[in-house]
Amino acid sequence: MAYTIQKKTFFESIQKAYPIIPTKSSLQILLNFKIIFKPDNLEIIATDLDHSIKIKSPITGDGEHEITVNAKKLFEIVRELHEGELTIDFDENVLIIESGGSFSCKISGADTRDFPPFPEIEDFKQIDISVANLKDMIVKSSFAVSRDEARACLCGVLWLIDKDKTGMISTDGHRLGSSFYSGDFNPEDSISSIVSPKSLLHLVRILEVENKDTSIDISIGEKYIVFSNETMTLCSKLIEGPYPDYEKVIPKNNPKKVHIDRGNLMEAVKRVSVLSNQKTHLVKFVFKENELETVVQNRDIGGEARQVIPVEYEGEEHIIGFNAAYFLEILNIIKTASITLEMNTQISACLIFPSYEKEEDRKSEDLFLIMPLRILEEA
């Protein structure tokens, strides 16, 4: 019952499934792939119980066979093999891989009956959105997901879907990212789901590897969300809510408005932040008439750095401090040549918006928020 498959095809499938494997688990079976061999295709399945993935790829062989094997060892072995055709065979519960007529290895498997079944969702709602827009929303929101497991709902991305609008939002209390697209989404009822960032970010990686704007089917149930196309099915358990009212943290009164070249601002913050405090990464922003001075003073190392760049700003001097790492992360996500900052006081949130030369260039409504840091005398 031998099968043949190209090494490149086999390894690409393994790469897509492998990130779902948990780094450690009390259930040893979760450290394995379940592999289902059929005459014309194979399926590689991985799960950590919250996230499950099934990758399908072409193969040539006879009959059907199932086996579970250690995912890390299979990944490492196949990665090191020469390009070309692999032969895969079995000796009861042992996987045998041969390559180039000179290499062979055996990996003992486990009982497939112990492997968790792939989740099935019922009463689901189908959502139609372009892959490009989906990837864009994920990137612009998921960076701000909280790492505090005590606030489980903030550890996910809130996905809102209405009849004519959809968007993703996340916040960890220090920053916020959101992106909304208009369109004809037509759910029977408005949908509000909290999705795991592990699934969303892995989905982005898979879609980028495929290097094409493929279509993707999205099904949202009461407990699960499923993303699928011809070669991949990714199922993720939804995080229980409710999600906090994020709109309460977005200030409505922001009289201080600044228009800045994004590239100039990134370069200035990168340069001065080299000397910033390693814990706070504090950079002081001093806004004056049509100029911004970025300042770092670090008494711990006796260092100081300043840079002045031109901006469009009118009004009284405004001094505010930001975490440079957080600020640069947002600037890297935004792709427009310039941005707009909206602020009020030294302790109120700063809003960051992409700026478009032409309104028709605006494809989505994006908003980013960053909370300021307290500026002490030494800063």
In a domain, 145, yes or no: yes
Can you give the pLDDT at residue 275?
92
For the segment 225-278, what is each residue's pLDDT rounded down to a tens digit?
Answer: 999 988 999 999 999 989 999 999 999 999 999 999 999 999 999 999 999 988
In a domain, 379, yes or no: no
Cross-strand bridge partners of residue 236: 51, 225
Residue 73 and residue 87 in one domain: yes
In a domain, 119, yes or no: no
State the residue range of the domain holding 298: 250-370
- What is the distance between the alpha carbons of residues 82 and 101, in angstroms, rounded to a whole number? 11
How many other C-beta atoms can be found within 10 angstroms of the C-beta atom of residue 251? 15
Would you place residue 214 in the very low, low, confident or very high pLDDT band (cuts 50, 70, 90)?
low
Can you give the pLDDT at residue 20?
96
Can you give the pLDDT at residue 292?
97
The alpha carbon of 23 is separated from its chain's Cα centroid by a whole number of angstroms, namely 18
Whether the predicted pLDDT of 379 surpasses 50? no
Which of 114, 145, 177 lies at the terminal end of a domain, its last residue? 114
Closest CA to 342 of 334, 333, 332, 352: 352
Count up the domains in the chain and report the number.
3
**Strand order of the sheet with strand 3-6?**
60-61, 3-6, 85-91, 94-99, 103-108
CATH classification of the domain holding 284:
3.10.150.10
Long-range CB contacts for residues 295-303, cutoff 8 Å, separation at least 24: 296/272, 296/379, 297/378, 297/379, 298/378, 299/378, 301/275, 303/275
Residue 19 and residue 51 in one domain: yes
Query: Higher-confidence residue: 185 or 83?
Result: 83
- Assigned token pair, 102: 């000179």
Q: Which residues, 6 or more positions from 212, have their beta carbon under 8 angstroms from its beta carbon?
A: none
Element (H, E) at 336: none
Backbone angles phi, psi at 209, to 5 degrees: -65, -40
Whether pTM > 0.85 for this model: the answer is yes
For the segment 153-168, what is each residue's pLDDT rounded down to a tens digit?
Answer: 999 999 999 988 999 9
Residue 143 and residue 97 in one domain: no
